[in-house]
């Protein structure tokens, strides 16, 4: 073993123990468990996501992107609930303890954590294949929590950002389409997704339902509809155009990325038509949001999403990501 290879306790002490700035952390890293103070008038919101090398990110991904992404995908889940993130736990399985890798990972993780005032309060460190699990804990007001299940017939369907760009970014990485400015920006959409925490907070009392897009827009809209007992129409002509994608891909590939591509971590939400004016006033400074469809009553098959192009129904085959889908 290399002389400066840190042991388990050095790793925790050197890379994952930081001075606590939050007064609601009564015990952080170092004891057997963390002790946290939840405000009396709030509810605790918890989410966890795992990233596996070769499944969620390519093997050559830089450590700081992995650290950033592991937290970002979790913050995105809290954003989708309208919650305010507070604390995180990190379970790290590493094949070996390389100081440069650990430093990069910690930089990516803590850089994003600091931007959202999130504190790492515990975790686990083991040797094994590269697998990163993060749990985030946050709080939300006890009234008006954003769920997937609140969409109503007649609501408008919105999505933030430009769906598909993250999937295109992954394709750029996998196919080695490097070099151009567009390729670099698309890569960044995959490597550094922006969790829509402020948007989620603003939507909490505005939207009827919300979720984050992680498995593909079409499949995720189906999930929201199923949870709400509704159906939806998705107007393909309204999908936000991506100059970046169109620089490198044809219209067909771009649409496929937009509908089936995972990893965007944008928010998909529904809004009663009478709230649109207020929504535009409050939300337009926070993120680009586009109306892409409408909720309809759930008939025979709640969860059905009908795609329209030029007002006509079109069949679209855009299966979203499913770890256990039959090949
Ligand atoms: P135990 O064996 O009692 O579970 P550990 O030795 O695994 O404790 O962890 C010691 C302390 O360090 C605990 O507070 C734990 O939450 C924290 N910890 C371990 N690994 C990490 C990590 N990767 N990031 C943050 N905290 C960690
Ligand atoms: Mg212990």
Check residue 20 and give its pLDDT.
Answer: 87
pLDDT tens figures, 140-198: 999 878 999 999 999 999 999 999 999 999 999 999 887 799 999 999 999 999 999 99
**C-alpha closest to that of 194 among 92, 283, 116, 137:** 116
**C-alpha closest to that of 118 among 151, 62, 71:** 71
* Minimal-distance CA residue to ligand 1 atom 5: 124
pLDDT tens figures, 286-315: 999 999 999 999 988 999 999 999 999 999
Do residues 75 and 85 lie in contact, with contact meaning Cβ atoms separated by under 8 Å? yes
Which residues in the chain show pLDDT less than 70? 1-3, 325-327
Q: Which ligand is nearest to the CA of 113?
A: 1
**C-alpha closest to that of 265 among 234, 295, 287:** 287
Mutational test site, ligand 1, from 12, 119, 121, 135, max ligand atoms within 8 Å of CB: 12
Check residue 326 and give its pLDDT.
Answer: 59
CA atoms of 234 and 157, how far apart (whole Å): 8
Could you give the C-alpha distances from 270 to 117, 132, 204, in angstroms and in order? 28, 32, 11
Check residue 6 and give its pLDDT.
Answer: 87
Q: How far is the CA of 126 from the centre of ligand 2 (A)?
A: 14
pTM of the full predicted structure? 0.94
Q: Which ligand is nearest to the CA of 29?
A: 1
CA atoms of 100 and 104, how far apart (whole Å): 6
* Minimal-distance CA residue to ligand 1 atom 13: 30
Check residue 318 and give its pLDDT.
Answer: 73
Check residue 319 and give its pLDDT.
Answer: 75
């Amino acid at each position: 073993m290399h002389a400066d290879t840190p042991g388990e306790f050095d790793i925790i002490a050197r890379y994952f123990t930081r001075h606590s700035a939050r007064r609601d952390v009564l015990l952080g890293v170092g004891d057997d468990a963390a002790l946290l103070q939840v405000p009396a008038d709030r509810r605790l919101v918890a989410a966890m996501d795992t990233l596996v090398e070769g499944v969620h990110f390519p093997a050559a991904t830089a450590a700081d992107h992995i650290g950033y992404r592991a937290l970002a995908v979790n913050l995105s889940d809290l954003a989708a609930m309208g919650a305010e993130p507070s604390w995180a736990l990190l379970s790290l399985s590493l094949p070996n303890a390389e100081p440069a890798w650990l430093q990069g990972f910690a930089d990516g993780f803590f850089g994003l954590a600091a931007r959202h005032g999130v504190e790492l309060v515990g975790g686990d460190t083991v040797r094994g294949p590269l697998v990163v699990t993060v749990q985030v804990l946050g709080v939300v007001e006890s009234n008006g929590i954003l769920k997937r299940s609140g969409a109503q017939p007649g609501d408008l369907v919105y999505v933030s950002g430009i769906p598909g760009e993250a999937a295109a970014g992954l394709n750029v990485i996998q196919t080695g389409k490097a070099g151009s400015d567009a390729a670099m920006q698309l890569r960044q959409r995959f490597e550094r997704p922006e969790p829509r925490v402020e948007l989620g907070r603003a939507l909490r009392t505005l939207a009827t339902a919300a979720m984050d897009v992680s498995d593909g827009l079409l499949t995720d809209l189906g999930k929201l509809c199923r949870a709400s007992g509704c159906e939806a129409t998705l107007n393909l002509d309204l999908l936000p155009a991506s100059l970046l994608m169109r620089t490198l891909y044809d219209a067909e590939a771009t649409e496929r990325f937009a509908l089936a591509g995972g990893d965007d971590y944008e928010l998909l939400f529904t809004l009663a038509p009478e709230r649109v004016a207020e929504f535009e006033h409050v939300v337009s400074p926070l993120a680009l949001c586009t109306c892409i469809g409408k909720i309809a009553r759930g008939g025979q098959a709640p969860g059905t999403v009908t795609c329209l192009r030029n007002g006509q129904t079109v069949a679209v085959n855009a299966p979203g990501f499913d770890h256990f889908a039959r090949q």
